Amino acid sequence: MNQAPRPYLTRFSQFAWLASFWFVVHFIWATLLPVVIPAVVRGFAERGIIPLEELGTRLGLVLALGAVVSAVLQLTIGFISDSSESRYGRRKPYIIIGALATTVAIIYLIEAPGYWHLVLAYMLVQVFLNTASVPYQSMMPDLIPERYHGRGAAMMGIFDLTGKLSGLVVAALAISGVGLGAVQVAGESPSFALLGVVYCVLLLGLTFVVFIKSPSYPVIHAAGFLRLRFGAETVRNIRGLLREYARFEFGRNPEFVKLAFSRMAILLGYYTFIPLVYYFCEANLGLTAEDRWMAAVLLASIILGAVAGNLAGGYVSDRIGKRRMIFAGMAVTILFMFPVIFATDIMHAIYYGAGLGLGWGAFIAADWAFAFTLIPKERSARYMGVWDMTALAPQMVAPLVAGVARDHLIAAGIAVEPTAYQIIFTFSILYFVVGLVILGFVRERRPVMGRDSL
């Protein structure tokens, strides 16, 4: 087998080209989860397609079902990518296939004529976008030496956060009817047609950038576009293939397992909060139909703060340790969470939201870098699939639980709508605390100088 040596990346510009695809991934999620899907579901309720009193439950259901389908895909695509070879490496073919299929799924989602069409379209977006993003994420531990993991993760965090910020700005324009489609026209659902075009252009453009500017690894000159190493095994021994699929050897990586559970708990808090921000701003901060775009401004303030926190968190975590940086970042997040969820004015919420984002950005950079350090390099895609499951599991559970809790608290007369959101968001803080308690049991090793820590 003719395999080229691993092409390590050590320069800022190399990190930037590699991380650029993360911009479009989070541009899409930042607009779909808190803005587009809630707006479309509300439009269906106002048109009588779904019962208005089930608004929170229906929103949670569409998000949860999409995440369930994606969860299976996360583990499977990682295993397949790790078992692939081609002249373009074992990651790039899946980025291309996933990006092309995602554009079709996005068009279907934007034009969905009814609730169950929306559910199916969202499930397809989850499947195809993760087909691209799981192998893509694995390029970071594949190509970046350990001593640069913090800076590499920070660069991914910058594109993550700027993608979210740009997405929210564009979504705010769409919601306000400025240039990207009117919110509500004569009883119709919100229109996001031009936003869908933006999704597709960015997705295809940045796929091309990563394909051209980032090295392939491993390069197998004898292979074509793509070849699976276990192809013959599928015919001869299905049981052996399934054993290999299920073999993660977590017992040899207990620190990764504990870190994954810590992240899962923290993201339960995140996905309890984010999908309901759109409704929270209307009920608690007095936004009307004309100024509901200010919900995107609140999210944008959080992200702007997170950009600064991410830059600092990635750089500092390479020096003081990833675990310490996660603790510091989440302490700041919790401190500013209280004034946000108990705010009665949108400007106060925006102000404190920037402080909340500062801590969240530091957490993102340090947490990703910690995971890169603990992942076995030859199984990086499979472990990144598991790592993504720590986000998908909360995405399945938290929005549905929060949506059902919102509807129950209001219907049972336990709380009026503004108080219901404050109760639900307080549980976000409890999830954060549980995550930090678990993190306290994770041991961190310092980088060992050598080939992988250039």
DSSP string, 328-367: HHHHHHHHHHHHHHT-SSHHHHHHHHHHHHHHHHHHHHHH
pLDDT for 129 equals: 93
Could you check whether the bond before residue 218 is cis, i.e. omega within 30 degrees of 0? yes
- Mean pLDDT for the chain overall: 82
Contact 121, 108 (CB under 8 A): yes
Decide: helix, strand or coil at residue 84. Answer: strand
For residue 317, report the phi and psi dihedrals to the nearest 5 degrees. -65, -25
Which CATH architecture best describes the domain 15-443? Up-down Bundle (1.20)
Smallest CA-to-CA distance from 1 within 100, 85, 70 is with 85
According to the model, what pLDDT value does residue 239 have? 56
187-215 average pLDDT score: 82
How far is Cα 283 from Cα 446, in angstroms, rounded to an integer?
Answer: 48
pLDDT digits (tens, 9 = 90+) for 306-364: 888 988 888 788 788 899 999 999 999 999 999 999 998 899 999 999 999 999 999 98
pLDDT above 90: residue 26: no
d(CA 57, CA 407): 7
Helix axes 115-137, 21-31, angle to 10 degrees: 160
Q: What is the pTM of this model?
A: 0.70
* Amino acid type, 155: M
User: Which residue ranges make up each domain of the chain?
Assistant: 15-443
Six-digit token pair at 407? 């509807």
Cβ-in-10-Å burial (0-12, 13-18, 19+) of 421 comes to buried
DSSP letters spanning 257-272: HHHHHHHHHHHHHHHH
Distance CA 444, CA 324 (A): 10
Q: Average of pLDDT values for 266-272?
A: 92
C-alpha pair distances (Å), 56 with each of 7, 42, 246, 416: 48, 9, 36, 14
Percentage of residues of the chain with pLDDT beyond 90: 28
Between CA 73 and CA 94 the distance in angstroms is 13
* φ and ψ at residue 3, rounded to 5 degrees: -120, 125
Q: Answer for the pair 396, 271: CB distance below 8 angstroms, yes or no.
A: no
